[in-house]
Every structure is written in structure tokens, then in C-alpha cells.
Amino acid sequence: MVMRKGICLAVLLCLSSVSAFATVKSQVSQTVINQGESIRLTIDLAGKDADSVDLSPLEGKFDILQRGQQSGITIINGDYQRTSELILVLLPKQSGDVTVPALTVDGDTTAPHAIRVSKVDLPAASEGGIELDARLSTQTPRVQQPIIYTASLLLGQQVYNGSIEQPKVTQGKALIEALGDQTKFQKYVDGQVVTVVEQSWLITPEQSGVLSIEGASLIGQIPAQGTTNRTFNSRYIDPSNLRRFQLSADSYELDVAGIPADFTGATWLPSSSVVLEESWSSDEFRVGEPVTRTITLTANGLTSNQLSSLVLPDATGLKQYAGTPQLEQTFTDGKLSSTMSVEVTLIPSQEGTLELPALQIPWWNVNSDTEEVASLAARKMTVAKGNSITQSVVQQNNSTQTTPLPETEGTQPTEPKSTDSSALLVEPSPNPPSSWVDYWWLAVIAGVLGSLVTVLCIRLFPRQQLPANESLSRSTTSSNAHTGNADASKRAIKDACLANDVGATRHALIAWGQQVWPDCRNLNQLMRRVSPELKIAIAELQRQAYSQSTSTASASQANHQWQGSELWDVIKSYQPDADTQSRSTLVPLSPLHST
């Protein structure tokens, strides 16, 4: 009796087990295939929703080339039965024994399927085959040192519907991004002309340790055996004569070294070359007159976002105002290079001999595996008195204020730092310079000659006059449009200044500058065109804007400490040169008609 109860219990457990692990019918089209060929997996949905099928187990082992669903009706002994099937076309990613994993369908599962993928060795490219090679720019990288992975596809025959899959990181942590466009060229290999297609990727390790890189792969179609065409001249191909193939490039396992403990730099720069260069807008220096110093940092083997902001050393007797860095990244002939260029406005505050300290940037030479320093040598500057305007700088505690560069990835700062600004006293020259008088006489002579030429043209080439109201309308419309834009820009400057808003004032000044000088694109260019008084006022605005990078004050506090009324007083009384205004309001001449 006890034995009978035990048998019944075992049967019940088996039945419950079958119910708990009920399977969904599925089948594969083939169990033995060549590498590059696909299989068809058919799943009987049995009334279940196709969207309920979890395909995530296929990732990593198969590419899903196609997904479709077909429905039908079958009649068995007069009974109608509806059928619904999910059909997946799968391409194995590797050769050898591969298993199609069980898939979950609305709580039930399919059975796993074992298949064998035979590796196919294609002939060399010089023999009419296809090759896929790979190379690395370095196999001994350090952390954050970009690695260039280049895949080279050598074609000895035509490939149809081909695509190159990027390499993958299977162990470790790194960023991968495409680098440049594909390049295509031809070369001789063993006396045969083959076509070469190359694509590069940038792999940047984010941590030290083991980094495993799975090679790039090529998936495409070639003519079936016996129909190979090496001439590349066939314009038409029967799709039924094509067979799918897959090639994989070499994989790599690297040991990524960390940052050396003896590196002294504030920013880690692993590079093959780092160079600092400078250029000056002028070799003459006068008290209160701005001079632009352009500093350029060039680094080979680094991306542009790895170039951090520069910190300028303080210089006694000089104020420095740094602009926004301009970044550029190039990839040419398989080599990566990045540059950062920044304009620094210097305003001497005292005459005599001043010294601009050296600028030094430590970096790590990945070729020699040693630390090196890129530098700009110290420079002595002989500063003379100002020519037309005497400028005296009242400094507190005899300290100079140097503005560090803003962060390269940020936008122009709008929150100035809380600092004690120096008072700038400006006294206009009592008499105009003699050169101004000379220009006045030249202007009078030019005006007389212009009038004579105009009279001669009217006499010799009379033209049909436009109606007075139309001519006046054209001139007035153009003039009013320009004046209106300039006035609107000035109103924006006034509103921003009176609100003590540093960021809005900077943007309004740039907009106004573009109205007066169309080629003026930033405040540094604007400072080169305006009066010395306005130069100083804009320079003070720049100092307030950029000093926020070392300030802990809030935006409202910083804006409150800058008083824009002084800048507005200079702006509202400033008038651009007369020739600039006339060029901006010129109306095109109407065509001349002979009578």
C-alpha cells in the first residue's frame, strides 16, 4: 500500500514538472552549415503574441538578419486549425559547435538546438580571395591613451552587400568610436592588383588592467563556387548565385598600465609629442593698450577633449584676460592630432621692463616612457607710456589679477568672480594729434575731387532718373534698417549693463560689434577696433566674466558686484569712425542707361 502511494506521488510530480517546464515547438532549418551561412529558426506561437518572445539570449552568439511572422489555416479531418509561426533568420558569429539557446515565449520555453558551423578558409586576396587584417597603433598602452584600431580589407573579388562590424571590448573598460571615414585604394600584392578598404576606430582605455578586444568582422556575399568574378566588371548578378560569408580580424589582449606615480603634472597627457607655441599681435607695448597673445597647444595621439585649460602664471604689472579656447582634432594618414588655441589679452599697467613668466605643461612621452615638459620661455617686455591717452592704474595691495582659462568643454561663463577691481582713470588728450589734421585736409581734397568726377559723369553719361519718392524710399529703408539694428543692439547693451548682467552684456556687445563691423566675431576682435576708453571697459568686463572659474560666489552675487553703468557711460558716448558708418549705410547704385 505504501509502495502504491509512492508511485502515485512520483507520477504526479512528473506531471507537474512537465506542466511547469512546458515547451514551445521550434525547429531549425539546418544543423550543419559553413561559416557565413545562416539558419532559419521557426517557433510555433500556438496563439501566443510574437512580441512576447524574449530574444535577448541570442545576443552575443547570433546576428538576427530577418524577423517575420506567418499565419495559416490547416484542415485535419474536417477541423479547421489556425497556425501562427515566428521565423528568425540567424547568422552565427563564430565557428565550431554552437547552441541556439532556449527562448522564453509568454512563460513557456523553446528547446535548445545544437548546430555545427564549419570554418571556411577563403583564398588570399592575390589569389582571388578576401582577407581581413587588423593592426593597433600600440600594444602597450597606458590608461586614457587612445589606441587606433585599423581594419584592412583586401579584396581579390567583388563583395556584395558587405558591411564591417566594429571591434568590441569583451574584458576591461574602454570607449570605442569610429575615427574618420573609410578609405579605399589599390595596391600590388604578390604581383596582383587588389582593392584595399580601411576603417579605423579609436579605443580609449578607462582603467588599467587587462583589456580584451574582439576583432572587427566582415559580413557579405560573394558568388557561389564556380561563378567567381575577379574582373569587377559584372554589372548584374543573380542573387541565387550568391552565398553569405563572414570574416573576423585578429583579436587582441592588452595589459593597460596606469598613471606613473612620479608624474608631476596636474593633467595626465600620454602623448608622442606635445608642443607649445605663441604669436603676438604686436611687438610694441604701451601702458593701458591691449596686446593679444595667441597660445597654441598641439598634442599628437590625443583627442581634443583631453586638452584641459591652461593656467597662466601671474605677471607683475600686467593684467591678463583669457578668451574661450578653440579646439580642433584631425586624423590624417593614420595619425591623430589635436590642437587648442586661445587668445589672451594683456594690458600693461606700468611702464618699464616687465617679465612674463614661463609657461610649462608636464606630459608623458609614451615612446620613451618618461615625463617631459612643453614650455614657453619667459619673456621680457619693454613698456612705454601711452601715446594719445595717459592711463594710470590704481591697484590695491600692489597685486595683479590674472584670469585662468575657462574649461574647454564649457560655454562662455556668465558668473563673474567676487574680486576688488582696480580703478582705471582716463584723461582725454587736450589737442587732436597732428595726423588727424592731415587726414582732415586729405578728406577735403578727396571731397572736392569726388564732386568734380560726379559732375563729369552726369554730363557724359546721363541716366534715366528714378522717381524721387522711389529713390528716397530705397535709401531711407536701407539706412533705417541699419540704424534700427544698431539701436536695438545698443538698447540691449544698456539693459544688460543697468541690470549688471555680465553674460548678457558680453553677448549684446558682440551683437553690436557685428552690426558696426560685420567681420567682428568676438570681444577680442571688438577691442582692436574701439577707442582706448572702451577697450579698458571691455577688458574689465572680460576679467569679471572669466574670474568666475576660481570663484565660489554665486551668479547673483557676482553679477551684483560688477557695475555696468560705467561701461554704458562709455558706450553711449562712443561713435564709430565716420568711414565705418558710411560703408554700412551705402545704397547700391542703379544701373546707368545711355540715351
Q: What is the pLDDT along the chain (595 residues), one digit of tens a residue?
A: 445 545 444 444 443 333 344 478 899 999 998 877 888 999 988 777 888 889 889 987 888 888 888 877 777 776 777 778 889 999 888 888 999 999 988 888 899 999 998 877 778 888 888 999 999 999 999 999 999 999 999 999 888 888 899 999 999 999 999 998 899 999 998 888 999 999 999 999 999 999 999 999 998 888 876 555 544 445 566 777 788 888 889 899 999 999 999 999 999 999 999 999 999 999 999 998 899 999 999 999 999 999 987 888 999 999 999 888 999 999 998 899 999 999 999 999 999 999 999 999 999 999 999 999 999 999 999 999 876 543 443 343 334 444 444 444 433 333 333 333 322 222 333 333 433 334 444 444 555 465 565 656 555 555 444 444 444 344 444 445 455 567 788 888 889 898 888 888 888 888 888 888 888 878 878 887 888 788 888 888 877 776 554 444 444 444 457 888 888 888 888 877 644 444 443 334 333 343 3
Q: How is residue 142 annotated by DSSP? A: B
Hey, what CATH topology would domain 270-389 get? Immunoglobulin-like (2.60.40)
CA 294 → CA 53, 322, 376, 524, distances in Å? 61, 10, 12, 11
Q: Half-sphere exposure of residue 442, counting CA atoms within 13 Å on the CB side?
A: 6
One fold for both 21-118 and 125-256? yes
CA torsion sign for 17, 18, 24, 28 is positive
pTM: 0.60
CA 511 → CA 195, 230, 261, 518, distances in Å? 52, 61, 49, 10
**Contact, 268 vs 259, CB < 8 A?**
yes
Structure confidence at residue 258 (pLDDT): 96
Angle in degrees, 0-180, between the axes of helices 565-573 and 532-546, rounded to the nearest 10:
150
For residue 527 the three cell numbers come to: 577691442
Structure confidence at residue 108 (pLDDT): 86
Residue 381 pairs in a beta bridge with 354
DSSP string for 10-47: HHHHHHHHHHHT-EE-EEES-SEEETT--EEEEEE-TT
**Contact, 151 vs 216, CB < 8 A?**
yes
Vertex 213: Cα angle to 336 and 90 (nearest 5): 120
Hey, what CATH topology would domain 21-118 get? Immunoglobulin-like (2.60.40)
Residues 6+ apart with CB under 8 A from 420: 396
Residues 6+ apart with CB under 8 A from 405: 309, 310, 311, 312, 322, 325, 342, 546, 549
The amino acid present at 252, given as its one-letter code, is Y
Extents of the domains making up the chain? 21-118, 125-256, 270-389, 411-427+483-587
Coil vs helix vs strand at 196: strand
**Contact, 286 vs 348, CB < 8 A?**
yes
CA 178 → CA 30, 50, 135, 167, 337, distances in Å? 36, 35, 15, 10, 15
**Contact, 258 vs 206, CB < 8 A?**
no
Structure confidence at residue 36 (pLDDT): 76
Which H or E run contains 57? none
Hey, what CATH topology would domain 125-256 get? Immunoglobulin-like (2.60.40)
**CA–CA gap between residue 287 and residue 386 (Å, rounded):** 5
CA torsion sign for 379, 380, 382, 388 is positive
Structure confidence at residue 63 (pLDDT): 84
Residues 6+ apart with CB under 8 A from 45: 24, 69, 84, 85, 86, 105
Alpha helix (H) ranges present in 163-240?
none
**CA–CA gap between residue 311 and residue 549 (Å, rounded):** 11
Structure confidence at residue 521 (pLDDT): 77
